[in-house]
Structure 1
Amino acid sequence: MARLREFAGRFRPAGVPGAAAPAGVPADLRADREAELEPVFAALAETVRACSDLREQAAADARETERRARERCGSILADARSRTAAARADASALARGRTIAENQALLDQARHTAQTIRERARTRLPHLVEQVLDRIRALGAGP
């Protein structure tokens, strides 16, 4: 590492203002800076490689996570579709059962009504037949 004096020396002019001094050579500031920063960049090279490796690993992990998520999504969708089909079948069976029960109740009611009508007809029929016969006899007795 550079010492404070060397660090501060970078900011000094190469020569004193005025006439050129015959004994001085200007300092190569660029070479000094590069030499000073070279160990820092060398130390950072490992960190840069580690960061690059971490980015690559993170990208690979992200791809794997996305692949697993797609598989899980497909599995969830397949399960939901199969459960949907089963639920539809159950709902259809339930609706059919209700419809059959309603139809059976209507049929029972219709049978009961028909039986009631038959019983009324049986009880009324002899009386009605008697009335018809009386009218026919009355027509036959006439002119």
Structure 2
Amino acid sequence: MTGFRDFLTRFRPAASPGRAAPSGVPADRSAELRAELAPPLALLEQVEAEARSVRDRAEAAAAARRREAEQQAEEIVAEAQEEAGRVRARAAEQVARAAETEAAELLAEASREAVAVREHAVSRTPALADRVLALVVEDLSAEESPLASADRPAPGPKRPPEGGL
């Protein structure tokens, strides 16, 4: 890069005032500017190449991270699906156990009720048998006496006594 002194020399007169000097080669200002700007532009090209390299490396790193993140996401989804299967199995097992417990309780209750009904039937059977026997005997004795049939009501089921069947 040119220094400040070279910069200032552009503004100096080429010759002292006076008689005309012999003509020379005209100054090539564009070549001078190119020569002056070549070193900073070369540095800029270097920086641009380095920036491109950094950008390419960053894109490659981003793509690698993206692939890694996708793989992790797939693994997480697979683990979640496996865990969901295990959770469903545990829930089904708990529901089945609860249903078995409830069924066992209902069966025990039904057994207790059946025993109670049997006991009630056994306790009432002698009284009912006595009533049936009395009715049959009454019907049989009524058939033997024709006069008695006019005085008595028609045979059939009688009204049960209070408090029982």
TM-score (normalised: structure 2): 0.72
Residue 91 of structure 2 is aligned to residue 91 of structure 1: yes
Residue 28 of structure 1 corresponds to: 28
In the alignment, residue 54 of structure 2 is paired with which amino acid? Answer: L
User: Per-residue displacement from partner, 1:99-130 (whole Å, max 9, x unpaired)?
Assistant: 11111111111111111000000011011101
Percent sequence identity over aligned pairs: 33
Find the counterpart in structure 2 of residue 40 from structure 1.
Answer: 40
1: CA distance, partners of 2:111 / 2:66:
66
The CA distance in 1 between the partners of 2:138 and 2:103, in whole Å, is: 50
Cα gap change, 1:35/1:139 in structure 2, threshold over 3 Å: closer, same or farther?
same
Structure 1: distance between partners of 2:139 and 2:8:
151
Distance 1:75 1:11, change over 3 A: farther
Query: C-alpha root-mean-square deviation of aligned residues, in Å?
Result: 2.4
- Specify the structure having the higher radius of gyration (Cα): 2
Deviations 1:61-80 (CA, angstroms, capped at 9, x unpaired): 11111111111111111111
Cα gap change, 1:134 to 1:43, in 2 (>3 Å): same
Aligned length: 135
| Higher helix proportion | 1
Q: TM-score, normalised by structure 1?
A: 0.82
Distance in 2 of aligned mates of 1:82 and 1:91: 14
CA distance in 1, matches of 2:11, 2:3: 14
Alignment of 1:63-78 (within 5 A): 63-78=63-78
The code of the aligned residue for 2:109 comes to Q
Letter in 1 for 2:99: T
| Corresponding residue number in structure 1 for 2:109 | 109
Hey, what does 1:119 align to over in structure 2? 119
Structure 1 residue 54 displacement after superposition: 0.9
CA contact under 8 A between 1:2 and 1:36: conserved in structure 2? yes
Mark the CA change 1:9 to 1:107 in structure 2 (over 3 Å): closer, same or farther.
Answer: farther
Shift of 1:51: 1.3
Partner Cα distance (1:140, 1:9) in 2: 160
Q: Is the 8 A contact 1:10 1:29 kept in 2?
A: no
State the Cα deviation string for residues 43-93 of structure 1 (Å, max 9, x = none).
223222221111111111111111111111111111111111111011011
